[in-house]
Structure 1
Amino acid sequence: MSLQHLDVLVIGAGAAGLMCALNAGYRGRSVAVVDMGKKPGRKIIISGGGRCNFTNQNANPDNYLCQNPHFVKSALSRYTQYDFIDMVERHGVEYHHKTLGQLFCDNSAHDIVEMLMTECGWAGVQVKMQSEVVKVAKVDDGFIVTTSGKDYHCQSLVVASGGLTMPKLGATPIGYKLAEQFGLTVLPTCAALVPFTLHDQDKQRFDGLSGISVDSVVSSESGVVFRENILFTHRGLSGPAILQISSFWKAGEWVSINLLPDEKVYDKLQSLRQEAPQRALKTALSHMLPKRFIERLYQAGELPEKNLNQLSNSDCQSLHDYFHDWKIKPNGTEGYRTAEVTLGGVDTDELSSKTMESKKVSGLYFIGEVTDVTGWLGGYNFQWSWSSGWAAGQVV
């Protein structure tokens, strides 16, 4: 099999890999990207409901989980969300703002993939799809990479193979295996930004509530707090607030949910006792939260069958505490199948925060989701891909 000589080989034609490749190509480096999938940017295409939440205006190091929280600072400060927005605008990709700083394509996530592939074309980057990496060997002047298509000799090898999320899209552990092959530490991985599943008794308790959404403040046992919607599903709980808190949740822990963050339930009930004393508590609560949800709580025997004028101050306080600190203990998560990202990965203590290069193996780089960097929901993980890809692209 012929050996193609390159300056840079990138494993993975996703957000980080394409970003690194085009930046290296513009520096005059000979660059190829290999990916085992049929099309580049598969995760980009399905993200954001097909519209790709490509960054967040508020992106900063505080929005990332990493065992070394300082690691992300360099790359995020040198290639910011505004730098990526400039590229999007140069290509005429129309986009819009959503709540909490999120930016989405107006038309399709394909616009972002086309933009990256156009830039790769301009930079002279070769993108080889359906090309599986079989073996990687270190040699004196770089690496020999054997793929299902051809063999490559490269000075710099960039691993941008992503995590374990969405295996139907072709996710594999190759990035972690390569890290371990070259003596790097890989921190334990798990699904993050992922819906919760519930224990059987809770599943039965909330059967029939699928599709109900409630604006809530959700807290983990560690004290992390997010305010967005929660969503009841056939299997458990989802919605933005649940996905956010899942990155901080550990098996066996409770999750606390303030179901009425804009109300003071005690004060509201005291007021209603004066205004409509004969009204049933159930009716009053059904004006504050979805009726089907309240009915389920009654069926489970968790709320008193009383009229408002029958409530004592103690009852009002108990209801206040209940709705502002509604506790649920998830059974687990839906796992990598539906998770947005993988928590954990290549230990960032093993990498240069400026270049993403391995401290142990010269010429070996890890970028994007394969590293132990996990962003919040809302475009932060894409921004890490752009920033870490850019950082490596400046030096490979």
Structure 2
Amino acid sequence: MRFDTIILGAGAAGMMCAAHCGGRTLVIDHARAPGEKIRISGGGRCNFTNMFAEPANFLSQNPHFCKSALARYTQWDFIDLVNRHDIAWHEKTLGQLFCDGSSKQVVAMLVAELERTGAELWLHTALKDLHKTESGFALEVEREGQRQALTCRALVLATGGKSIPKMGATGLAYDIARQFALPITETRPALVPFTFSDGRFKPLSGVSIPARLSNARTSFDEALLFTHRGLSGPSVLQLSSYWREGEEITVNLIPDLPLLDTLRDQRQNSGRKALSTELARHLPARLVEALKSDLPLDGNLADQPDAKLETLCTALANWRLTPSGTEGYRTAEVTLGGIDTDALSSKTMEAKSVPGLYIIGEAVDVTGWLGGYNFQWAWSSGYAAGTAIAARTPAP
């Protein structure tokens, strides 16, 4: 069977690309349903983009690579598409946009868009063989127990990275990249919780607090969540993309709280109150209880000299921890690193050394922050490849 374009992967990037390729396009995926990571994202409501998306929100060995695609298909373009499909949405925090209803609406929208252009979608289809030909690519797939031979002029890798293997992630794009001698940067789990092997935070599991998490390179002010394994929450997930094994992190438990002034005032007004009781007005009581073993929290406020209060506040603002590791790809929301951008055109996403091969989405060494940025990269890179393919596809 001959196609103009075959897209491997029916996720966010793959379906967006299919909606813009033109010609005879086929999307194949080994999953039983399209857009599974879309479906589970955002607590089932899909954080589909971010109002503040810009190149500074993305990590890559070449920080300039993402600029072209992001400029040509912006968050406002995707919002316009969502609006045209009458999908109600809202801004949650920090520019994060979610569906009012279900993330399945975004999946249905993308399927409708690719079907509108005449693209076909084959699910539960496994790639068995792939090689380059003079005119494009030859593939062998297995579908419904039958093997089929396919050919295409353009081939798009949209199979994602290694994150969340229970959703079917396999790293297939990296295997194909190696087959065609394309370089791959180091890949790591990103947007992932930290773990601590000593189990120190088990008693605090479920406690959440606004915090500032930092390392030597960056910091993030968002919620921190204690878990039975370690630390999670938005601030932790954000910092994990910038963290390396063995590195110390700093947790500020009072980033926007003038705690020293508050304790001094309360010492004047309620000196008989226990220091730990007053502290529990500003921090979760379970956290205060846990900190008693490490910090001087005994006595009443009236008994605390300024120097002791200053030491306490400094400790709360500079809690130094060294994670044992992360929860890995099992819970990572995205893969950091991937197919080296030096091997790709930033305008078309085509491999420079393999004409007709395009690579988009998470498979590429472009990784967004938490908060809708990785979906925006999927939309932008999918659009860039799709429109480039359409420009080269002969009219029927």
Confirm or deny a common fold (TM above 0.5).
yes
Matching residue's letter, 1:9:
I
TM alignment of 1:306-345, pairs within 5 A: 306-345=299-338
Kept in 1, the 8 Å contact 2:47–2:97? The answer is: yes
Match of 1:212 among 201, 207, 210: 207
Cα distance, 1:142 vs structure 2: 0.4
* Residues 1:182 and 2:177 aligned together: no
Aligned residue identity for 1:196: F
Match of 1:159 in 2: 157
- Write the letter of the residue equivalent to 2:193: P
Spell out the pairing of 1:66-215 with structure 2 (5 A cutoff).
Answer: 66-149=60-143, 150-200=148-198, 203-204=199-200, 206-215=201-210
User: How far 1:170 sits from its partner (Å)?
Assistant: 0.5
Aligned positions, number:
385
Separation (CA, whole Å) in 1 of partners of 2:142 and 2:329 = 26
What residue is the counterpart of 1:62 in the other structure?
A: 56
Q: 2:209, 2:297 → 1: CA distance? A: 22
- 2:296 is matched with 303
Q: Bigger shift: 251-260 or 176-185?
A: 251-260
Distance 1:377 1:303 in 2: 36
Residue of structure 1 aligned with 2:276, choices 274, 282, 287: 282
Structure 2 CA distance for aligned equivalents of residues 359 and 303 of structure 1: 61
Q: Could you list the per-position Cα deviations for residues 341-366 of structure 1 after superposition, in whole angstroms to 9, with x for gaps in the alignment?
A: 00010001110000000011111110
Give per-residue Cα distances to partners, 1:256-313, cap 9 Å, x unaligned.
Answer: 1111122223222222221222221111111110001100111x24333122222222
Whether the 8 Å contact between 1:198 and 1:331 is mirrored in structure 2 is yes
Q: Give the C-alpha shift of residue 91 in structure 1.
A: 0.6
Q: Which residue of 2 aligns with 1:41?
A: 35
Aligned partner of residue 208 in structure 1, secondary structure = helix
Equivalent position SS for 1:365: strand
Q: Deviations over 1:100-138 (max 9, x none)?
A: 001111110000000000111111001111111112101
| Residues 221, 253 of structure 1: 8 Å contact kept | no
Q: Which amino acid aligns with 1:95?
A: W
State yes or no: 1:22 paired with 2:19.
yes
User: Which residue of structure 1 aligns with residue 393 of structure 2?
Assistant: none
Report the 3-state secondary structure (helix = DSSP H, G, I; strand = E; otherwise coil) of the residue aligned with 2:3: strand
2:15 is matched by which residue type in structure 1?
A: L
Q: Which residue of 2 is the match for residue 7 of structure 1?
A: 4
| Partners of 1:304 and 1:260 in 2: CA distance | 16
Amino acid at match of 2:175: K
TM-score normalised to structure 2 length: 0.95
Q: Following TM superposition, by how much is the alpha carbon of 1:173 offset from its aligned partner in structure 2, in angstroms?
A: 1.3
Letter in 1 for 2:152: C
Instruction: Work out whether residues 202 and 229 of structure 2, in 8 Å CA contact, stay in contact via their aligned partners in 1.
Output: no
- Structure 2 residue runs without a partner (length 5+): 390-396
- Secondary structure of the equivalent of 1:346? coil
**8 Å contact 2:351–2:357 — kept in the other structure?**
yes
Unaligned runs of 5+ in 1: none
| CA–CA distance in structure 2, aligned partners of residues 197 and 46 of structure 1 | 23
Alpha-carbon distance in 2 for matches of 1:327, 1:305: 22
Residue in structure 2 matched with residue 377 of structure 1 by the alignment: 370
1:363 aligns with 2:360: no
* Letter of the structure 1 residue corresponding to residue 203 of structure 2: G
Following TM superposition, by how much is the alpha carbon of 1:157 offset from its aligned partner in structure 2, in angstroms? 0.5
Does structure 1 conserve the Cα–Cα contact (< 8 Å) formed by 2:185 and 2:339? Answer: yes
Deviations 1:141-162 (A, max 9, x none): 0010111132211101000000
Aligned residue number for residue 392 of structure 2? none
Secondary structure in 2 matching 1:62:
helix
Alpha-carbon RMSD across the aligned residues, in angstroms, is 1.0
- C-alpha change, 1:199 and 1:312, in structure 2 (3 Å) is farther
Q: Distance in 2 between matches of 1:218 and 1:143?
A: 47
> In structure 2, the residue corresponding to 1:154 is in which secondary structure?
strand
Question: Aligned to 1:274, what secondary structure does the other structure show?
Answer: helix
Deviation digits for residues 335-390 of structure 1 (CA, Å, limit 9, x no counterpart) = 11111000010001110000000011111110000001110000000000000000
Equivalent position amino acid for 2:50 in 1: N
CA distance in 1, matches of 2:355, 2:167: 31
Taking the aligned partners of 1:48 and 1:90, their CA distance within structure 2 comes to: 21
Partner Cα distance (1:364, 1:332) in 2: 36
Match of 1:261 in 2: 255
